[in-house]
Amino acid sequence: MIRLLINATVLTMDASLPHAQALAVKDGRIVEVGGTDEVLWLREEEYEVIDLEGRTVMPGFVDPHNHFSIGAFETLWADCRSARSVADVQRMLATAARETPAGAWVRGVGYDHQLTGVHPTRGDLDAAVPDRPALVMHFSHHQCVANSHALAAGGIARGTPDPVGGEIARDKTGEPTGLLFERAMSSVETASRTAWETRFTDVARAASARYAALGITAIQDAAVTPAMARRYAEARAAGALAIDVSEVMVGSRGWFERPDDAAPGALKIFVDGGYRCAMRVLRDGAPRTSGFLFYGREELASLLLTAWRAERFVVCHAIGNLGIETAVGAIEDAVRAMPDGPARVRIDHAIFLTAELIARIAALGVWVVAQPSFLYDRGSVVTPDRATDDSILTRPFATALRAGVRQAFSSDYPCGSNAPLIGIAAAVTRTNRHGHLAAPEEAISPATALEAYTLGAARAAGIADIAGSLESGKRADLLVLSSNPLECTPTELASIRVLETWCGGVRSVPP
């Protein structure tokens, strides 16, 4: 059957035909885009005409940096994002513990130490969950707090040295407090998810429907362990994924570790930390560095070349200016040995930039995948290191575009808000959830933001041949919106509703 969507305002993201009134869908593909009259000519023996009465149609959103295999479990784990005190975290974990099946770790997600005042300690968690391992993840997903059972299960004791690229927080007597940074959390974090992951097919079914309701039709899961890669294969075989998901692989020992045993496919390399990313700053006129840097330039260049020779695409996580400088330098070095390298690598996050780094990224021509969602969630948060150095530009979306950087958008969910329209609104207004403005001179237009979350994102994800724009031959991944994002006011962008989502021609209506 052919379906003819007519009388719409179609934003195609196709430069050769940016605006249209109608399109035709058959066998999951777009077969025509154009005027209502010409599309109506395509009526076949079996057809359906859908009169959209002027509503806006656009391509489904593509999210090239999302953590679906974490976010899918959110309904099963304690949601600690709203915790305003350690007592709140304790109450949330104790409640979750009652629902946690035997053999699984109690998990909480998303606490913000700036809201709770202090980080919880192992003792706080022991009081809430005394009888088995429990862990609560910081909103950054780069640090967590473990209770005593969890620390013991992860082999972390008083005498355990800090791993390279991580830190075990300790009290004055040298006893671990439960707070673990970056690579120090690898063992407990990995163990805390193992039992839950057996339920992936079930949660993935519901989660992919939630994603579709937000208008997301294709994502890349930005950190998939070998165990999760097997779970993805099961979920796909069961037909549980309502949206297009591709995987970016990490190793089995933990997200931030060297990905030596990653499953085949695109490879993720964490170049620096998250909340404690690698920074190079001037403080009181003197240079200093801070945060966690996981590789030197030379080692990273050699990892890149090994991956490229194995035909792997590489996603480099780099947040701090020192992390980005290391990634850019390593890519420059590797490209000298393999000139087609820029097509095989991208830099994700790239939050703390400088004019010099922006110029080098533009010269390399690699994609940068940025997260306007972070602007919305915590646009006003400035840590001391970042405030003292005027040469550091924070999420400089407009400057990067003017310099010629290929910039796509994503959410990094659950580290940032999942809804693309929230991210797009933040990129346009530079306003966070509390109404605070952050570097308004870095605002970009709605049209540019939409493209960065559709065609740009599809290009960064390597799926632009099938997704990202409404063109004949591409997959029928499209949205019907309650209003036109190019005509509403910037403050209205975040409240546009997704009325219909079509994934590969399969139509769903959000609840």
Query: Which residues contact Zn ion by CB under 5 A?
Result: 222, 412
Element (H, E) at 50: strand 47-51
**Cβ distance to Zn ion smaller for residue 222 or 419:** 222
Please state the closest distance from residue 67 (CB atom) to Zn ion, in A. Answer: 6
Please state the closest distance from residue 459 (CB atom) to Zn ion, in A. Answer: 19
Give the residue ranges of DSSP H helices in 154-199. Answer: 186-197
**Cβ distance to Zn ion smaller for residue 222 or 470:** 222
Element (H, E) at 268: strand 266-270
Query: Which residues are CB-contacts of 306 (< 8 A; sequence separation ≥ 6)?
Result: none
Residue 484 CB neighbours (<10 A): 16
Using only C-alpha atoms, the chain has a radius of gyration, in whole angstroms, of 23
**Cβ distance to Zn ion smaller for residue 412 or 477:** 412
**Cβ distance to Zn ion smaller for residue 222 or 250:** 222
- The C-alpha atoms of residue 8 and residue 15 are separated, in whole angstroms, by 18
**Cβ distance to Zn ion smaller for residue 69 or 217:** 69
Instruction: Give the start-end residues of each E strand in 284-405.
Output: 286-290, 314-318, 345-349, 352-353, 367-370, 393-394
**Cβ distance to Zn ion smaller for residue 222 or 401:** 222
**Residue listed under structure tokens 């959000």:** 510
Please state the closest distance from residue 124 (CB atom) to Zn ion, in A. Answer: 27
State whether residue 281 is helix, strand or coil: strand
- The C-alpha atoms of residue 31 and residue 209 are separated, in whole angstroms, by 25
Please state the closest distance from residue 66 (CB atom) to Zn ion, in A. Answer: 8
Please state the closest distance from residue 412 (CB atom) to Zn ion, in A. Answer: 4
- The C-alpha atoms of residue 239 and residue 132 are separated, in whole angstroms, by 34
**Cβ distance to Zn ion smaller for residue 222 or 450:** 222
C-alpha angle with apex 106: 203 to 175, nearest 5 degrees?
A: 145
